[in-house]
């Protein structure tokens, strides 16, 4: 059974800092890995999707990497801003395109 | 609309009552998913639809839970004889059927269900 782990559960950083959020998964037989953002009381917004054959994806200040063989992904956020404060979830796609989620990292960026 | 729409946004009901939750996927998306998000459990997969059929119902927690999809569009998740442990946020997502494994899932804002 696929398990996705995100540690730590919460992170607080000062504005402007570059930061890395980690995600690990136990079964490397995945189709892709997605990073989502969730604001309080809202649904999930897809940030980046990395196909299993890819190593990384970039969007603006965000860069996500994937090492499928070791079961790891990182989300890099450059020059963090208070507006980046949210919960970031990692999810892997398995059979029937079913997503298995980590429990998320709650990020707080202090002005 | 442009995104996935869920209704109601909030639902409070008494234990033992039945509830229906609705999901309107993005137009043209043939794949639809239900997830449940509860404190301490994170996000759990419930059921997946491709068109009107459900090839994977493995996440439904009990026979009190059922879902259907009609016209390849709107889906309804029904919980019968609700229990307090059913309290959670129920999220719906959709994606294009073409090459769905390579497409991101688009989520609605969810229905927050509270069982008294």
Could you list the pLDDT tens digit for every one of the 111 residues in chain A? Answer: 899 999 999 999 999 999 999 999 999 999 999 999 999 888 899 999 999 999 999 999 999 999 999 999 999 999 999 999 999 999 999 876 788 999 999 999 999
Of A41, A46, A93, nearest to B101 by CB-CB distance is A93
Ranges of residues in chain B with a pLDDT under 50 are none
Reading the block at residue B89, the tokens are 């946020």
Q: Does A49 touch chain B (CB under 8 A)?
A: yes
Q: Supply the DSSP string of B45-73, one letter for each residue.
A: EEEEEETTEEEE-TT--STTEEEEE-TTS
Q: How close are the terminal C-alpha atoms of chain A, in Å?
A: 41
pLDDT of the residue at B41: 76
pLDDT of the residue at B98: 60
Q: Does A62 touch chain B (CB under 8 A)?
A: no
Cβ atoms of A75 and A86 within 8 Å: the answer is no
Among B3, B36, B42, the strongest candidate for a mutation testing the A interface, having the largest count of A CBs within 10 A, is B42
**Distance to chain B for A87, nearest Cα, Å:** 12
pLDDT of the residue at A20: 96
Among B50, B53, B101, B111, the strongest candidate for a mutation testing the A interface, having the largest count of A CBs within 10 A, is B101
A17: helix, strand or coil: coil
Distance CA B49, CA B100 (A): 12
β B10-13/B111-115 pair status: parallel
Cβ atoms of B23 and B108 within 8 Å: the answer is yes
pLDDT of the residue at B99: 55
Partner-chain contact A31 B45, CB within 8 Å:
no
């Amino acid at each position: 059974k696929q398990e996705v782990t995100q540690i730590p559960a919460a992170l607080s950083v000062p504005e402007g800092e570059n930061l890395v959020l980690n995600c690990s998964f136990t079964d490397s037989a995945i189709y892709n890995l997605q990073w989502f953002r969730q604001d309080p009381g809202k649904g999930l917004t897809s940030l980046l999707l990395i196909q299993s054959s890819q190593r990384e994806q970039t969007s603006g200040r965000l860069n996500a990497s994937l090492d499928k063989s070791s079961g790891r992904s990182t989300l890099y956020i450059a020059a963090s801003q208070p507006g980046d404060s949210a919960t970031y979830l990692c999810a892997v796609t398995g059979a029937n395109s079913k997503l298995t989620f980590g429990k998320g990292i709650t990020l707080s960026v202090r002005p | 609309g442009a995104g996935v729409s869920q209704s109601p946004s909030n639902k409070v009901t008494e234990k033992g009552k039945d509830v229906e939750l609705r999901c309107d996927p993005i137009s043209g998306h043939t794949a639809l998913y239900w997830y449940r998000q509860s404190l301490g459990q994170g996000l759990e997969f419930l059921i997946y639809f491709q068109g009107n059929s459900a090839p994977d119902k493995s996440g439904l927690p009990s026979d009190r839970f059922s879902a259907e999809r009609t016209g390849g569009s709107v889906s309804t998740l029904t919980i019968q004889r609700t229990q307090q442990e059913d309290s959670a946020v129920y999220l719906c997502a959709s994606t294009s059927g073409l090459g769905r494994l390579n497409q991101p899932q688009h989520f609605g804002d969810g229905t927050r269900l509270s069982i008294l």
